[in-house]
Structure 1
Amino acid sequence: MKPISTLLLIAALSSISPLATADVLLLDAIEQAPANSSEGLLRPRTGQTMDAVRAQFGSPSQELPWVGEPPITRWVYPKFTVYFENEYVINTVVHR
């Protein structure tokens, strides 16, 4: 009985480290992204419609077809990619 509980404890402790590392990496990526402004890198904001994005930023260099349910669409611009759920922006990712 004792060896099983020891193995479980070791397994539990070894699984903590990757989770903590992932959080740090994500925070570093967010802090390194330029500001969403004319001084940084102006890009679409959450909630904008596809029509508003196209009017402000022009046509994307690539429009990828929707996938999943609800439909998620990606528009690729030279410096960022815009993710839409239905017709609304849900996220914009800056290219490195």
Structure 2
Amino acid sequence: MSNILVTGGLGFIGSNFISKIINKENFVVNIDSETYASVNKSFLDFESRKNYKHYKVDISDFQKVDNIINKYSFDFIFHFAAESHVDNSIESSF
């Protein structure tokens, strides 16, 4: 069993990725800030699984992300978190 961290796991790419790996005897931790671009949770098949944990955290919050990383011994980290609208990233780059 692998411990896997996914950032942006409620976005289109991240949620599809988690759906593919969740059945492979992996423990998946998802960090996502749940913005307007997040997938509707009611459509996700992994939200209620015992081998899945979600943290509503913005990845720019270093302390919270660091605490999560230190809590688990991750074998893999997949980074999908991003600002999905260019205009928002220009207005607020951090």
TM-score range relative to shorter protein: under 0.3
Rg (Cα) greater in structure: 1
Q: TM-score, normalised by structure 1?
A: 0.25
Q: TM-score, normalised by structure 2?
A: 0.26
